[in-house]
Structure 1
Amino acid sequence: MRRILLTAAVLSLLAVPATAPVATAASPPAVPSDLTSVEVSFRGAGGLAMHGTIITKPAKPTEPNDKTTDEPAAGAGLTGGTAGAGRPGVVLVHGAGTGTPRTKLLGEAVEFARRGMAVLIYDKRSTGYSLIHRSYPQLADDALGAVATLRSQPGVDPAKVGIWGLSEGGWVAPIAASRSKDIAFVVLVGANGLPPLRQQTWAVAAGLRKAGVTGSLIDRAELNLYRTIADGGMFPEPYYDPAPTLAAVRQPVLAIWGTHDLLTPPQESPPVFSRALGEGGNRYYTARFFPDADHAAHLTPDGGVTRLPELAPGYADLVGSWVGEVTAGRPPATSSSGPAPVQASLTVPVDPPAWWESAPAQLVALALFLVAFVSYPVAALVRRLRGRSRAPVTRAVWLLSAGGLVSVIGSFCYLVYLMMTGGKLAAPGPVLLGRPLVWLALQAVAVVSAVATVRLAVAWRRTRDSLGGGQLGLLLAGGAVFVPWALYWGLLLP
């Protein structure tokens, strides 16, 4: 059983009942020898027991006024009153991922601690959080539990504790800040100002474009797949609008983006933050862009695809100096600086689907295809086994049966594969004329199936009253629905 080191204050104020749900605790991180750490537990949303580590730089009592110590200059606290002698603190909030261990943010925690802050990192919840379900307000409550823990830590000035959020944490941290005056400042990295579904479709499309893909696969198929998934309740918080929450944030905000962010649109997000904060009356918004940096403001050698362990030069120093100014009662006025970020393509609006393109409608169409395209071959096999085999009225029945199944099942599997491997690591396979060979093959099969539908319609008019006419009618119905379905998904478009 892991040894949990708790201070008396944490034990008395934040003890977790034995009956509370418990999150899996990762192994405590090993911190560099120039820093110290203490293990803590606290309650998250719903009473979930969560585990974290507070990392600090040892105080130098013989040099209390030396700027290299972790004791900031005295000044007025942002939450009112006079700032104490304790150091500032910051809680780090993870990006997307189930049960992400605290060690994922150890690099940032170490660098911030070396710049005089007490830094709390914690294991992200897996209870109530998954690939298809999550709640940003719930995650914000987890973060607020961590903030309360850090504020109660000896040596930390409770008026100087802020919150830092990466990626998904860029939605979570402002919610927490808008709910609590106990948060003194907000630092955001790789934050997205657009709805999650719009950001995700852009990231996957951008990855495909980077791989040389153009046309209907991006413009129709990938976009419609995400709309269908969201409509089916399998994409969490798809249309969450962060702007109203940002407008409610009153604390100073430092927002950081790498110029090679491939997961969050780095050109479109900053104006959303600036506009929303300004409309809310926040005059202390600082935006900084770091060159040669990726989504997490780490160095990248290849335009954002590979993330190196090192933070972008100057990133940790900026956070340290900015927090020092803010917690000394001198928050910088609104400003923006740094090189322009690289964004090869703009995002596109992703609206909820109409009834005829909704997830239930797609399921009905899929069921029709499976029944229609399989029934004729099965019936033909049964007739053959009974010795009643006869030649089909047209070979188009076999082309439609086989081609329809291949088009429907093949396109679904390929689109899901692209979704799972999309973003900056998109791997669509060999590309010819802007189309992956797999997609070109599926399009060719879809064209054959559409032509077969027309030929079958002509043949069915002659045979609908004869034996097998009903089966041909069902197959034709599948083909008639298949043609607009294939147009909708881009299989019959360039």
Structure 2
Amino acid sequence: MKRILAAVAAALILFAGPASASVPSSAPPALSGDLTSAEVSFRGSGNLLLHGSVISPAGAEDERAGVVLVHGAGTGTSREKLLGEAVAFARQGMSVLIYDKRSEGYSTFKRSYAQLADDALGAVETLRRQPGVDPGKVGIWGLSEGGWVAPIAASRSSHISFVILVGANAVDPLRQQSWAVAAGLRKAGVSGSLVDRAEPTLYRVIADGGMFPEPYHDSESILAQVRQPVLSIWGVHDLLTPPRETPPIMARALEAGGNRQYTFQFFAEADHAAHQTPDDGVTRLPELAPGYAELVGTWVGQATSGQAPVAQVSGPEPVQADDSVEVPPTAWWESAGVQLAAVVLLLVAFGAYPVVALVRRVRRTRVEVAPLRAARLVSAGGLTVLLGGFAYLFYVIMTGVKLAAPGPLLAGRPVVWLLLQAVAIITAVATLVTAGRLRRVATRGEQARLGLLVAGGVAFVPWALYWGLLLP
């Protein structure tokens, strides 16, 4: 069942390329004369061979600190994606290890934060053995998804001396993603049942069908096990993480474990990755937020000398227009399996009517009963809403972050969604009309054909209500 759902979603979403292909070893990064690069290889989870580069300041002193950078979400991600951060941190006097992210065992539908944490631990041990690096001063940095991975690694190893998180989430991944898409849609002017009901419902079904990896990862319990000093950074225009909600949850989790050596810093005019943004988080510039790299350098020096600040929070207030909402697991009656069965049954009920008509025409079978216009509306309307509704919903969640593109709006509702709702209403009304004409049909064959269609129309109403198609 999960494989069927995954295949359907993949076809609708049109994901590009196989996610299981191995990431080739990248070429050594081109650096300016003040920096050096050394190529390294190490074993990650499952003994997978991973490749990376250690970037250091030229002529750097011995006993320097080091940091491993952990990627955010995405398949086929090479080390070059974090080269800007690596160069900036190296210029603060550290050795920085960046590596090509695994793609074996990591895809759109499958990934393990624990596995990624083991990869990061392999990188940490490699960096600790590099010439000039003090093995007692090596930490880990995680961006976005890496903000879930890095704390797992830190909770498993006393060899990690500090933790830096950027754009990290303290809510579970499913809640975070649902919020990000909803926020993008609301920023585009969308309101009503599409964003309030249909979008979170789709995410719940996707998660239940096994197509959303690690949906309920408990970051709080992991953070409570982190004993190292923590520096967490957010851009005030973070559109992927609820930046106002996350810090208090993170602080609560750390303090629950007895850790008060945390520093939270917000950067103005910065996005999810703490890069500069000219348009409130929509566009990411290559440049880091002013002062970000310097803060990392200063704070790492404090953390590795036992002088990490205690419970320090500073910077401008983050921008977050709407709170995230819990996205609970589905009940049995709304599970992915039940949803799939309902869709199949509705497709059969609505599709049988035109199929029988087509067969009759091909066979040139004469029928005494004139076709009902209302019955045609039920069949055509039901099929349109089923197929068009899911196609539009998948399109919405794929374009709902940052540059949300729901199409033209009317009174805060996408015109496409309003049309689907109008067709859903027509389908429901036409079902009543068809049911009223059912007894007047003389032939049993036609009664069975219309009866199946009416049954589908009756079942369609609660289904459409559940998905918000019959709600304002």
What is the number of residues matched between the two proteins? 451
Question: Could you tell me how far apart the structure 1 residues matched to 2:252 and 2:355 are?
Answer: 61
| Deviation larger for 39-48 or 28-37 | 28-37
Question: Could you tell me how far apart the structure 1 residues matched to 2:439 and 2:243 are?
Answer: 57
Question: Could you tell me how far apart the structure 2 residues matched to 1:136 and 1:206 are?
Answer: 25
**CA 290–159 in structure 1, closer or farther in 2 if over 3 Å, else same:** same
Q: Which residue of 1 aligns with 2:42?
A: 42
Alignment of 1:219-230 (within 5 A): 219-230=196-207
Q: Which residue of 2 aligns with 1:173?
A: 150
Quick check: 2:369–2:441 contact (8 Å CA) kept in 1?
Answer: no
Question: Could you tell me how far apart the structure 1 residues matched to 2:365 and 2:23 are?
Answer: 64
Of 421, 436, 460, which residue of structure 2 is paired with 1:458? 436
Cα distance, 1:430 vs. partner?
0.8
Alignment of 1:35-434 (within 5 A): 35-59=35-59, 70-71=60-61, 85-385=62-362, 386-392=364-370, 394-434=372-412
Quick check: 2:166–2:232 contact (8 Å CA) kept in 1?
Answer: yes
Q: Which residue of 2 aligns with 1:81?
A: none
Quick check: 2:64–2:93 contact (8 Å CA) kept in 1?
Answer: yes
Question: Could you tell me how far apart the structure 1 residues matched to 2:49 and 2:441 are?
Answer: 70
Quick check: 2:22–2:103 contact (8 Å CA) kept in 1?
Answer: no
Cα distance, 1:454 vs. partner?
1.2
Cα distance, 1:193 vs. partner?
0.3
Q: Which residue of 2 aligns with 1:487?
A: 465
Cα distance, 1:393 vs. partner?
5.7
Cα distance, 1:464 vs. partner?
7.8
1:225 is paired with a residue whose SS is: helix
1:41 is paired with a residue whose SS is: strand
Structure with max Cα Rg: 1
Which amino acid is 1:303 matched to? D
Question: Could you tell me how far apart the structure 2 residues matched to 1:298 and 1:133 are?
Answer: 28
Report the TM-score when normalising by structure 1: 0.89
Report % sequence identity: 68
Question: Could you tell me how far apart the structure 1 residues matched to 2:428 and 2:190 are?
Answer: 24
Question: Could you tell me how far apart the structure 2 residues matched to 1:136 and 1:468 are?
Answer: 56
Cα distance, 1:136 vs. partner?
0.2
Which amino acid is 1:235 matched to? F
Cα distance, 1:387 vs. partner?
3.4
2:348 is paired with a residue whose SS is: helix
Quick check: 1:188–1:254 contact (8 Å CA) kept in 2?
Answer: yes
Quick check: 2:22–2:102 contact (8 Å CA) kept in 1?
Answer: no
Partner deviation per Cα, 1:263-293 (whole Å, 9 max, x = no partner): 0000011011100000100020100000000
| Deviation larger for 22-31 or 186-195 | 22-31
2:233 is paired with a residue whose SS is: strand
Question: Could you tell me how far apart the structure 2 residues matched to 1:392 and 1:427 are?
Answer: 44
| Deviation larger for 154-163 or 364-373 | 364-373
Alignment of 1:17-36 (within 5 A): 23-36=23-36
2:89 is paired with a residue whose SS is: helix
Question: Could you tell me how far apart the structure 1 residues matched to 2:27 and 2:366 are?
Answer: 69
Which amino acid is 2:284 matched to? R
Which amino acid is 1:466 matched to? R
Quick check: 1:165–1:188 contact (8 Å CA) kept in 2?
Answer: yes
Report the TM-score when normalising by structure 2: 0.94
Cα distance, 1:108 vs. partner?
0.4
Partner deviation per Cα, 1:119-161 (whole Å, 9 max, x = no partner): 0000000000000100000000000000000000010000000
Question: Could you tell me how far apart the structure 2 residues matched to 1:181 and 1:476 are?
Answer: 66
RMSD over equivalenced CA pairs, Å:
1.3
| Deviation larger for 318-327 or 457-466 | 457-466
Question: Could you tell me how far apart the structure 2 residues matched to 1:324 and 1:381 are?
Answer: 77
Quick check: 1:22–1:48 contact (8 Å CA) kept in 2?
Answer: no
Partner deviation per Cα, 1:205-247 (whole Å, 9 max, x = no partner): 0000011100000011111111110000000000111000000
Which structure 1 segments of 5+ residues have no match? 1-20, 60-69, 72-84
Which structure 2 segments of 5+ residues have no match? 1-20
